[in-house]
Structure 1
Amino acid sequence: MENIGWLDQDRGAVLVGGKGANLSRMLRAGLPVPNGFVVTTDAYRRYLEAADPQGHLPHLVDSGDEAGIRELFTTPLPEDLAHDVVTAWRDLGGGAVAVRSSGTAEDLTGASFAGQQDSYLNIRGADVLVDAVRRCFASLWNERAVAYRTRHGVDQHRVALAVVVQKMVEAQSAGVMFTANPVNGRRDETLVSATFGLGEQAVQGGAADTVVVRAGTVEQRSTVDKRVRIQSSTEGSGTVDLAVAPQDRHASALTDAQAVHLAELGHRVEEIFQAPQDIEWVLAPDGALVLVQARPITALSQTVGDIPEDWSVPDDKAMYVRASIIEQMPDPLSPLFADMVRPAVVQGLRTVLRRYFDDRSLRPGDLDFPTINGYAYYYYGRDGMLRLLKQSPQAVAALGGRSQLNGEKLWESAHPAYQQVVANWGEQDLEGLPSRQLLVGVQSLLDAACEYYATVQAVIPLAASAELPFTRLYTSLAKQAGGPPASVFLQGFASLPIEAERSLWSLAQWCRERPGLADALLADRPLGGIAEAADFQRRLAEHLDRFGHTVQTLDFMVPVPADDPTPVMETLRWYMGAKGLNPDERLNQQTARREAAEAELFSRLDPARKAILQPLLVKAQHLAPVREDALADVGLAWPLMRRMLRSLGGRLVDLGVVGEADDIFWLRRDELTAFCDQLDDGAAEQTATMAEQTATMAELVEARRIAWRGQRAATPPQLLPHNAWYKMFHRFMPAMETQQEGPVIKGLGVSQGRITGPARVIRGPEDFDQMLPGEVLVSPIMTPDWTPLFAMAAAVVTDVGGPLSHSSIVAREYGIPAVLGTGIATRRIRNGMLITVDADRGQVTMPEGEAPVESGFKPRVPYKFAFGAAAAAALALRKLL
């Protein structure tokens, strides 16, 4: 058995561990790595035989007997092993050394094992060195290392440990370098963290400067207050913490030239291992840079483009607004959707507006649907807006009148027309359709959907004209001290989103009654061989056929439950675990509470107040479910559209233009049209041209994805630019724009109550499985497919939303507090943060110290209006925009 191996010799990771093998390769490649030796895994096994001759360790580990494990590893190293260690140290030249654990399980894919075992710096003397090696061996079995291996599925009984011993390098500065930026995933950026003295402070996330190097140039630099430096002790082994002189605390720990040279060394390491690296480095007092550790970056995020900061617009006299349909587009748009939805929205909006405004009010160029930094905005030219404003009182009257222009009547006719368009295209043989015809079909479905959505918007002002006045007047004229909030009078009504929840709940109860099926579903195991599997699949398909078109975002690149039922299955498992309240029971309880509140209210009101409130309440109770039903079916065309587009994508894969079907969403409309022409005209034989197109499109698709990720990190203004239109309309926007930097985030309280709980930030259906019962649901926006999460949530907080939004209605139905329209909740709140949601005051409170308190903050009051013709016009326009 080999006890000692030298770093300048070729030794495999099985013998010297991951850290030892990496350092050996770097040293032999000529990189500045301090020489040293490795106490091998053979030596570890010899020690383990001496310390545990009866083989008790596996039982101690399995039983979690930490005291018993510690007792085993108090055994000293065998004399011959200790002798070999001391001899190698003397051959190295003696003096101070660094002693670092090097595990055989280190740096697996997705698991770095960084910091799980112990390391010791500035070890002086033979006896101290031998004991440091023993302590490194023991650290293989400390609590955190065992738990980490368990989480990553590593066989506990096959691991071993080596120990790297290197000459100690005194540090002027030290830190960590990532050869790819872990913050934004960019492979062309090197991120360096640097602090005074030894690098333990930077490694452990303490105060350290950061430098970003790109293409041989320092692109960014952040210098922090470094109050403490860790140095080798001058009185023996170990390190000491020393205070940094006040005049030096804000000095840079690394110059630009040193950072650039360090990045060059990092790229050499990356070339050796053919993967981005996490490297620990030291700047010696003589200015030499040395590398003391390297491991692959195991959790590198996807590359993120630059976050946009310029929100200037082409027409600074117009109004660019994110409202109405755009509330269903919280993220930047995919390129194909942006191109195809633009004419569809404009045409749908023109169709609806012409019902309420004469032809002179709308002229070419008045309306558009452009993107700014990837985000969709309605565009209204100045002159067009003025013409619409002049006629808005008549439009408001027509919306709520008894003619066929009444919003509810329009929806009743628009819904079957939309259904028919979807049905007609659904009857087509998609595989047999020419590619150009498939693209025509997608555009036709999107046109129909946008016209339907624009028509649905006519329902919302009707609901507003009853619900908001009732709430205001009830609170001011009829509510008694301790009486129920106005929201109680609007609870207990079924709608399509609630029906979807009831359907899934019913399916969960059916599954629970079949133990074999239930066990497999709860464990997420295949259903092969289970008798009820076919029946379950049929029932699930029926549920998805009826409710699988609910959309989180209108951008068709995002799957809907019909083609990715993962969120549905997660909710089903949660219901099967007997969690949540039976929706029928909840609905019955709310109905009983509402009816009792109504009876009490109208029994004590005088005739005058009753005559004011009762018609408003009847109208609000009727229209609230209508609004939810109308919005829930906006996505009827989405499952079919996605099938058609992915069918086209598959053809492009066969043609060799793109790598996978979903790449189609990152093409522009004109690019896709050209490829459809090639597909239909048999251009697949042009192999040289195809190869060239494939390389070009792969680069374009990746560049667009990178840019999209950067855009998604931005917070788009709700209204642009800051002109006269902004002053008139910004208070009606569905999200607050003030940069709220204090511990209290203001918003709009829409469902009464106050609760404190851990936050869970959910950005979309891909995150639904992270939601746990009792957490506060924090999201950018919520659409009908979010409804199942309300059954788990203790409260709801959104960036975007108002009193008539879906999240407002559903939060009220579930009886949980909700604060909407904060503008920045998802940017400020982190998972696990204990927050207080106070819907009565419309605010969310984070822990003290999370951010500095902003002075002079004045919250926006959304939807605040007086009941006059001008205000009604503004509200109507906000809903029609």
Structure 2
Amino acid sequence: MGDPCVVLPLADVGREDIRLAGGKGANLGELLRAGFPVPDGFVVTTAAFDDSSAGSGSGGSGSGGSGSVRPVSDALAGVVAAAYASLGGGPVAVRSSATAEDLPTASFAGQQDTYLGVVGTDAVVDAVARCWASLFTERAVAYRAAAERAGRDAPGHLSMAVVVQLLVEAEVAGVLFTAHPVTGRRDESVITAAWGLGESVVGGTVEPDEFVVGADRIRVTMGSKQSMTVATDGGVTQRPTPDDRRRARTLTDDQARALASLGARIAAHFGSPQDIEWVLAGGEFQIVQARPITALPEPSGPVPTTWPVPRPGSLYFRASIVEHLPDPLSPLFADMAATAVPAGLQGLVAELSPRTATLDVEFPTIHGYAFYDYSRRAWNQMWSFTPAGLAHLSRSGFVHDRWRDRELPRFRRTVAAWDAKEAAALASVELLTGAQELVDATCLYYTTVQSIIPVAAMAEIAWTTLHSRVLARPHGPDAAAFLVGFDSEPIRAEKSLFDLAAWCREHSELASSLTTPALQIGDAAPEGVAAEVWAEFRRQWDAHLAAHGHLLFNLDLMNPVPADDPEPVLVGLRYALEGQSGDPHARQRAQAVLRERITAELMGCLDPVLRRLARRSLALAQRWAPIREDALAALGLAWPTARRLLRELGGRLVGAGALASAEDVYWLTRAEAEGLASDLDRGAPVAPHSEIVEARQVAWRGQRRATPPQYLPQGGGLRWLESMMPARESGDGPVLSGTTGSGGTVTGRARVVAGPEDFAAFAPGEILVAAITTPAYTPLFARAAGVVTDIGGVLSHGSIVAREYGIPAVLGTGAATRRIATGDEITVDGVGARVVLDEAEATPATADAAGRVAAALATAVALGAVGALSASVWRRRH
């Protein structure tokens, strides 16, 4: 062991020495060299570990390996003893410092061992050996494997250094985040502090004080501090905290500011926000660990807690088109929709009831969230209009023919007219005009969807009620089993992608390339793929996107659709290539065969009169569910073109210095966009808006963490509306209540999907938890064990497709995405319309299954347009 690099003074290593000193050692040495207060110490480098593990046969690369390395050699023990003696021979902290920890992409915090209060040469040498062995514990191996699967790559060669430092007998210790780890705000530091050594804070065995240090104030949350970690002879132990210290603050305001200032200097030195372990002794702070904060969210503003209404006296609802807008709106789309949504609703009312006066309806945002705003007069008008609207909707063929023969073709013509224009040749103001016209056309078309919803609702309510109360047999199929196996746009898109995958599998080199996660589909063929094969693949791929690339994830125009960001479609193609999504053709055929068999069995048991009634009711329900899906899927037809126009405008504003990114155009108000577009056309200078955009994005992130109420003002005699809303008001108990979407019960691991960016991480057998599920989410249903949403009812996309796949679904829970985290084990009870978050505290559902299904159907129609009102009247009459 003659290598002079096996043990080095801590001050001799720096941030560039990770492979020699490990992440922890490199960072501490860097701080010590830079003059920051760090306890003195030395590093037993990776050279010693590698030499020892080579002799023992333990692997040192990758994430595998098991067992332990051989004991410390006599030669190394002598070097460690000399280094320990140079520190004075007192109590020290011996800390593992692997080459795969404290990295910018992965902290690997707590996966290897640390020993505090170690005294004596033999004890120090033994602690070094135990730190080496901790690299291969089952816990550490599993953590590294999970990190590699998540793409947080560690160095190819895995090794271990050990840091030995003088132990500071701290009066107070804890952790400092130089940026807020929850909100991501870089202008706030968060300090946790407890009495004694920091092990109790890091290990989570004590409730510490918390200090949030901002530029102008400190927010303090006192912890119980019931225990503390103290040094003993040769180690540390937990002891009860004296009563008078449990209630006492661990840091003064001045001390908290001083520590935050020290952390800010450390973050500036490393060039990124830091997660710092600190101790306070003798009135001075010292740093015992520093690493980058991993997975730090983008900065976000405060979370709204009050919901003031813009017009006192009005009634506000989050329903109907708002079901497709689960997040706060982008400023540009909010302004565009503010005129387009009321205009579309007014157009429908004027057609169905010409005598109805102009409706006083607005579409504002509150804390960014969209609401329908009905004046009291407009609310009364809608109720008086209901009979006339119902009469029109009840006319034979009116709703379907109006959609198929008039409104959908008109919508397509508007889209085609703007799609034919070359964006680069249009004036900037024309680009904005085109986008507004397409938003207007979309919102007008949505009123057609609103007219289809009540007809589909009536048909399914009638069939389900008839079946559950008259036709159902003991242990027989439920009403939904008679409604599956039919084509609709989401199913056709799924089959199209499956067929493309089947063709790709005929060309092994192509299939292999497409399953490579890093692949981006471009004009050039990947290495090893023949040019003619790639050209044919691109033809079929482009045809699929042309036919189905308009399916929406979220109606807000700022959200990409597959036509302009096809990565989620590529994820779905990989599912099919890897055989993880099943054969939709075979599934549909099997469902159709089963449906026809149970239908024949049911009808054969009925008398002629009841049979005629049942056949008619079932035929209507079977006809309208796919029509509703087709009508809804067309809602995004204008979005690829509208986004292309706005992308052109955004690019021009980037070139002129007004914006940092073309996508930032959505964060402008319409007035700002119009002014900037006019300046561009006139050749005038444009004002920079990047700081305004960034501030709005920060505020939006905070707003997104809120759960908006379904109606306002809350209380005030409107509680009777709750059963008609597309989401429930969520409490904080162990069970979330919602609406039955699809029957059955499943327990499994939750996966919260915020949008298409999360598709690739979704694993087979997980439970899909999302704010909404639109037709573009269909590829996930083939892998999901169940579905839970914040918003939606029994006639929403999630319900219909979940029934097609035969998986339980509970929709409209109100706050599933806020209450459930990825990895949580939850139970989805589709019949009971509930999601169990904590089995230990939950009580069994007691509602009658058929009654719950019928009730769920009766609440499925979105409030906010004539469709809901018409369906409500129909229910009362029948």
Structure 2 length-normalised TM:
0.90
1:845 aligns to 2:836 (yes or no): yes
The answer to whether the Cα contact below 8 Å between 1:435 and 1:679 also exists between their aligned partners in 2 is yes
The answer to whether the Cα contact below 8 Å between 2:69 and 2:132 also exists between their aligned partners in 1 is no
Give the structure 1 partner of residue 523 of structure 2. Answer: none
CA pair 19-597 structure 1, distance change in 2 beyond 3 A: closer
Q: The residue matched to 2:718 in structure 1 has which SS?
A: helix
Deviations 1:679-705 (A, max 9, x none): 11122xx4xxx5xx22xx111111111
Give the structure 1 partner of residue 301 of structure 2. Answer: 305
Give the structure 2 partner of residue 98 of structure 1. Answer: 93
1:450 aligns to 2:443 (yes or no): yes
1:440 aligns to 2:436 (yes or no): no
Give the structure 2 partner of residue 430 of structure 1. Answer: 423
Q: Within 5 Å, give how 1:295-444 maps onto structure 2.
A: 295-363=291-359, 366-402=360-396, 404=398, 406=399, 408-444=401-437
Give the structure 2 partner of residue 620 of structure 1. Answer: 621
Give the structure 1 partner of residue 748 of structure 2. Answer: 757
Deviations 1:587-638 (A, max 9, x none): 1222222222222222222344335433222222211111111111110111
Mean CA deviation greater in 421-430 or 247-256: 247-256
Q: Within 5 Å, give how 1:425-574 maps onto structure 2.
A: 425-524=418-517, 526=519, 527-531=526-530, 532-574=533-575
The answer to whether the Cα contact below 8 Å between 1:213 and 1:260 also exists between their aligned partners in 2 is no
Q: Once the 2 structures are TM-superposed, how far is the Cα of residue 9 of structure 1 from its aligned partner?
A: 6.7
Deviations 1:392-416 (A, max 9, x none): 1221121111385x45434531000
The answer to whether the Cα contact below 8 Å between 1:411 and 1:456 also exists between their aligned partners in 2 is no
1:741 aligns to 2:732 (yes or no): yes
The answer to whether the Cα contact below 8 Å between 2:7 and 2:80 also exists between their aligned partners in 1 is no
What CA distance in whole angstroms lies between the structure 2 residues aligned with 1:478 and 1:371? 46
What CA distance in whole angstroms lies between the structure 2 residues aligned with 1:436 and 1:158? 58
What CA distance in whole angstroms lies between the structure 1 residues aligned with 2:74 and 2:454? 81
Structure 1 length-normalised TM:
0.90
Give the structure 2 partner of residue 232 of structure 1. Answer: 231
1:261 aligns to 2:258 (yes or no): yes
Give the structure 1 partner of residue 674 of structure 2. Answer: 673
Give the structure 1 partner of residue 634 of structure 2. Answer: 633
Q: Once the 2 structures are TM-superposed, how far is the Cα of residue 809 of structure 1 from its aligned partner?
A: 1.1
Q: Once the 2 structures are TM-superposed, how far is the Cα of residue 834 of structure 1 from its aligned partner?
A: 2.1
What CA distance in whole angstroms lies between the structure 2 residues aligned with 1:164 and 1:634? 63
Deviations 1:315-356 (A, max 9, x none): 232111111111111111111111112111111111111112
What CA distance in whole angstroms lies between the structure 2 residues aligned with 1:629 and 1:385? 30
CA pair 45-661 structure 1, distance change in 2 beyond 3 A: same
What CA distance in whole angstroms lies between the structure 2 residues aligned with 1:633 and 1:79? 73
1:78 aligns to 2:71 (yes or no): no
CA pair 12-259 structure 1, distance change in 2 beyond 3 A: closer
Q: The residue matched to 2:637 in structure 1 has which SS?
A: helix
Q: Once the 2 structures are TM-superposed, how far is the Cα of residue 218 of structure 1 from its aligned partner?
A: 5.2
What letter matches 1:614 in structure 2?
A: R
Give the structure 1 partner of residue 721 of structure 2. Answer: 729
Deviations 1:643-681 (A, max 9, x none): 111111111111111111111111111111111112111
Give the structure 2 partner of residue 780 of structure 1. Answer: 771
Two-structure CA RMSD over aligned residues (Å): 3.1
Q: The residue matched to 1:270 in structure 2 has which SS?
A: helix
Q: 1:720 aligned to 712, 732, 745, which one?
A: 712
Unaligned runs of 5+ in 2: 520-525, 846-851
The answer to whether the Cα contact below 8 Å between 1:407 and 1:462 also exists between their aligned partners in 2 is no
What CA distance in whole angstroms lies between the structure 2 residues aligned with 1:607 and 1:705? 64
The answer to whether the Cα contact below 8 Å between 1:332 and 1:374 also exists between their aligned partners in 2 is yes
1:707 aligns to 2:688 (yes or no): no
Q: The residue matched to 2:707 in structure 1 has which SS?
A: coil
Give the structure 1 partner of residue 784 of structure 2. Answer: 793
What CA distance in whole angstroms lies between the structure 1 residues aligned with 2:856 and 2:327? 22
Identity, % of aligned positions: 45
Q: The residue matched to 2:106 in structure 1 has which SS?
A: coil
Deviations 1:122-145 (A, max 9, x none): 122233233334444554565655
Q: The residue matched to 2:475 in structure 1 has which SS?
A: coil
CA pair 263-591 structure 1, distance change in 2 beyond 3 A: same
Q: The residue matched to 1:33 in structure 2 has which SS?
A: coil
Deviations 1:734-765 (A, max 9, x none): 1111x332222211123221222221111211
What CA distance in whole angstroms lies between the structure 2 residues aligned with 1:380 and 1:760? 37
What CA distance in whole angstroms lies between the structure 1 residues aligned with 2:382 and 2:81? 92
Give the structure 2 partner of residue 270 of structure 1. Answer: 267
Mean CA deviation greater in 18-27 or 3-12: 3-12
The answer to whether the Cα contact below 8 Å between 2:454 and 2:867 also exists between their aligned partners in 1 is no
Give the structure 1 partner of residue 206 of structure 2. Answer: 207
What CA distance in whole angstroms lies between the structure 2 residues aligned with 1:277 and 1:497? 45
Q: The residue matched to 1:283 in structure 2 has which SS?
A: strand
What CA distance in whole angstroms lies between the structure 2 residues aligned with 1:290 and 1:865? 61
Q: Once the 2 structures are TM-superposed, how far is the Cα of residue 420 of structure 1 from its aligned partner?
A: 0.7
What letter matches 2:750 in structure 1?
A: A
What CA distance in whole angstroms lies between the structure 2 residues aligned with 1:705 and 1:850? 39
CA pair 289-382 structure 1, distance change in 2 beyond 3 A: same
Unaligned runs of 5+ in 1: none
What letter matches 1:592 in structure 2?
A: V
The answer to whether the Cα contact below 8 Å between 2:793 and 2:860 also exists between their aligned partners in 1 is no
Q: Once the 2 structures are TM-superposed, how far is the Cα of residue 109 of structure 1 from its aligned partner?
A: 2.6
The answer to whether the Cα contact below 8 Å between 1:77 and 1:134 also exists between their aligned partners in 2 is no
CA pair 223-475 structure 1, distance change in 2 beyond 3 A: same
Q: The residue matched to 1:379 in structure 2 has which SS?
A: strand
Q: The residue matched to 2:780 in structure 1 has which SS?
A: helix
CA pair 550-604 structure 1, distance change in 2 beyond 3 A: same
Mean CA deviation greater in 706-715 or 139-148: 139-148
The answer to whether the Cα contact below 8 Å between 2:571 and 2:760 also exists between their aligned partners in 1 is yes
Q: The residue matched to 2:582 in structure 1 has which SS?
A: coil
1:45 aligns to 2:47 (yes or no): yes
CA pair 862-223 structure 1, distance change in 2 beyond 3 A: farther
Q: Once the 2 structures are TM-superposed, how far is the Cα of residue 454 of structure 1 from its aligned partner?
A: 1.0
The answer to whether the Cα contact below 8 Å between 1:60 and 1:66 also exists between their aligned partners in 2 is no
What letter matches 1:615 in structure 2?
A: R
Give the structure 2 partner of residue 279 of structure 1. Answer: 276
Deviations 1:766-801 (A, max 9, x none): 111121111111111111111111111111111111
CA pair 866-723 structure 1, distance change in 2 beyond 3 A: same
Q: Once the 2 structures are TM-superposed, how far is the Cα of residue 282 of structure 1 from its aligned partner?
A: 1.5
Deviations 1:379-398 (A, max 9, x none): 11101111221231221121
The answer to whether the Cα contact below 8 Å between 1:47 and 1:78 also exists between their aligned partners in 2 is no
What CA distance in whole angstroms lies between the structure 2 residues aligned with 1:39 and 1:7? 6
Mean CA deviation greater in 712-721 or 837-846: 837-846
Q: Within 5 Å, give how 1:561-710 maps onto structure 2.
A: 561-683=562-684, 686=685, 690=686, 693-694=687-688, 697-710=689-702
What letter matches 1:315 in structure 2?
A: R
The answer to whether the Cα contact below 8 Å between 1:501 and 1:583 also exists between their aligned partners in 2 is yes
The answer to whether the Cα contact below 8 Å between 2:96 and 2:163 also exists between their aligned partners in 1 is yes
What CA distance in whole angstroms lies between the structure 2 residues aligned with 1:862 and 1:524? 41
What CA distance in whole angstroms lies between the structure 2 residues aligned with 1:852 and 1:32? 55
Number of residues paired by the alignment?
Answer: 847
The answer to whether the Cα contact below 8 Å between 1:319 and 1:725 also exists between their aligned partners in 2 is no
1:813 aligns to 2:804 (yes or no): yes
